[in-house]
Structure 1
Amino acid sequence: MNKMKINEIKALLNEMDDIPTIEQYFQHESRIGAKKAIQSRINALMKIEQLKIEYHEKLTHESKYPNKIICGVDEVGRGPLAGEVVACAVILNDGHYFLGLNDSKKLSKQKRAALNEALLQQVDFGIGIATVEEIDKYNIYEATKMAMKRAISNLKQTPEVLLIDAMKLDTDLEEVSIIKGDQNSISIAAASVIAKEYRDQMMKEYSELYPGYDFEHNAGYGTKHHLEGITRLGITPIHRKSFEPIKSMLNNQNN
């Protein structure tokens, strides 16, 4: 055992996925470097086990509706000063298992991007958008409902049950409004990730059309750089004119 090099031990550990087996196999290992590698692998496996537990816990709402087509619905972009509100509806594939799937705000950019790529290849999803004009005309809450309904209509399948993040849409389908749904439902979490990635890409494209507002980094939210851009360059067509401080700025210009 002690004749194995540390790199050889690491390579072997990467092939082992059972903690008791690892502990038994390396029980006589005494080198500090080797022990660190062993503990690192054990910690990684423990994290995976925890993620598996959390994944199954987030299927609680879905499990209440066996043999029904369940759709998770979420939105991104209620709070920004600029850009559309984007909703996503997701019907997960049979045997789905997207380890680490969670509310998009709780994921790193790299993890979110990887999950988004996997989801797009395997699930039935629809995107719905409400424009800045609709947000200003109807208010952000009503515009969000519009975006969500459009997302549902863009699915390939017709869902039977809607799991919605803290909203009621008043459709003809069975609806379940879930507080913090993107943290408590895998279907809603999936919708959250896809919607977030989709809207972020939109804002990156807007950053090229309207440079100077830092849209590629702030996604339209009222950050310091964004507000400085408004002061310096003015209001763009994608700014929400019913939102402060843009509303007051327009009123001052008109007076």
Structure 2
Amino acid sequence: MPRRVAISSYTLSFVAGVDEAGRGCLAGPVYAAAVILDAGHGIRGLDDSKQLTALQRENLFDLIQRRAVACAIARAEVEEIERLNILHASMLAMQRAVEALSPAARHCLIDGNRLPPALPCSAEAVVEGDAIHSPIMAASILAKVARDREMQRLDAEFPGYGFAKHKGYGTSEHLAALRRQGPSSIHRMGFAPCAQPDLFAGGNA
């Protein structure tokens, strides 16, 4: 079973924190980020992205990118989520983020209890890591903000679902829009209620 770990055996500047955003949504891609920070990064206010306001996340997003030793954001598309399932697509997005780091990480701390299968360095899973390690906190913020921005963009492309507001999560507003309009081409049809076409009045590709 993965456990909480200390990283004193590694030079902090080569340890990447990795986290994902959007795994539980009904629509849109899943995002991941990887961040390497040095000991003197001086970024105040880092926390699990879910504990921050949207404004705090936006402000930290730019600061993290300026002060990180390295950072990268990646995604897995809806088609990949449908083909691989959401767990494996999330792992794929994390792997892509780690592979995009320059300089490369020597070790990764992955938020959660699973590891991507083909990382280019050693790694360990840390349950609730986004509340423990600052590089994971930073990664959670980058992934969340990047995905929220994409869902705001998709709101204009797929009007009527409220993506800019709920970001694809299964809110009552989103479920009502699904019943009214049917699923769009960016809905994850392997997810309930997206996979229940009898509930819908029609589709909206």
TM-score (norm 2): 0.89
Give the alignment partner of residue 249 of structure 1, picking from 154, 173, 197: 197
Structure 1 equivalent of residue 156 of structure 2:
208
Q: Match of 1:187, SS?
A: helix
Give the alignment partner of residue 83 of structure 1, picking from 22, 28, 52: 28
Higher relative CO (Cα under 8 Å, sequence separation at least 6) belongs to: 2
Aligned counterparts of 2:160 and 2:7: Cα–Cα separation in 1: 44
Alpha-carbon contact 1:62-1:185 (below 8 Å) kept: no
Amino acid across the alignment from 2:176: E
Structure 2 equivalent of residue 169 of structure 1:
116
Alpha-carbon contact 2:178-2:200 (below 8 Å) kept: no
Alpha-carbon contact 2:182-2:197 (below 8 Å) kept: no
Alpha-carbon contact 2:179-2:199 (below 8 Å) kept: no
Q: CA RMSD in A?
A: 1.9
Identify if the C-alpha distance between structure 1 residues 251 and 139 changes in structure 2 by more than 3 Å, giving closer, same or farther.
Answer: farther
The alpha-carbon deviation at position 61 of structure 1 amounts to: 3.1
Q: Match of 1:80, SS?
A: coil
Structure 2 equivalent of residue 233 of structure 1:
181
Aligned counterparts of 1:172 and 1:212: Cα–Cα separation in 2: 42
Q: Match of 1:74, SS?
A: strand
Q: Match of 1:64, SS?
A: coil
Amino acid across the alignment from 1:237: S
Cα deviation code 1:161-215 (max 9, x no counterpart): 0000012123342111100011111010000000000000000001111111110
| Identity percentage of aligned residues | 38
The answer to whether the aligner puts 1:192 opposite 2:137 as a matched pair is no
Aligned counterparts of 1:188 and 1:218: Cα–Cα separation in 2: 24
Structure 2 equivalent of residue 73 of structure 1:
18
Aligned counterparts of 1:114 and 1:172: Cα–Cα separation in 2: 31
Identify if the C-alpha distance between structure 1 residues 222 and 252 changes in structure 2 by more than 3 Å, giving closer, same or farther.
Answer: closer
The alpha-carbon deviation at position 68 of structure 1 amounts to: 6.1
Structure 2 equivalent of residue 30 of structure 1:
none
The range that moved more, 127-136 or 243-252, is: 243-252
Identify if the C-alpha distance between structure 1 residues 244 and 191 changes in structure 2 by more than 3 Å, giving closer, same or farther.
Answer: same
Structure 2 equivalent of residue 159 of structure 1:
105
The range that moved more, 242-251 or 206-215, is: 242-251
Structure 1 equivalent of residue 64 of structure 2:
119
Structure 2 equivalent of residue 47 of structure 1:
none
Aligned counterparts of 1:173 and 1:102: Cα–Cα separation in 2: 25
Gaps of 5+ in 2: none
Amino acid across the alignment from 1:173: C
Identify if the C-alpha distance between structure 1 residues 251 and 228 changes in structure 2 by more than 3 Å, giving closer, same or farther.
Answer: closer
Give the alignment partner of residue 109 of structure 1, picking from 54, 74, 79: 54
Matches within 5 A, 1:6-25: none
Q: Which runs of 4+ in 1 moved over 6 A?
A: 250-253
Alpha-carbon contact 2:13-2:37 (below 8 Å) kept: no
Cα deviation code 1:23-50 (max 9, x no counterpart): xxxxxxxxxxxxxxxxxxxxxxxxxxxx
Q: Which has the higher helix share?
A: 1
The alpha-carbon deviation at position 236 of structure 1 amounts to: 0.6
TM-score (norm 1): 0.72
The alpha-carbon deviation at position 250 of structure 1 amounts to: 6.6
The alpha-carbon deviation at position 93 of structure 1 amounts to: 3.9
The answer to whether the aligner puts 1:218 opposite 2:163 as a matched pair is no
Aligned counterparts of 1:160 and 1:132: Cα–Cα separation in 2: 30
Aligned counterparts of 1:64 and 1:135: Cα–Cα separation in 2: 36
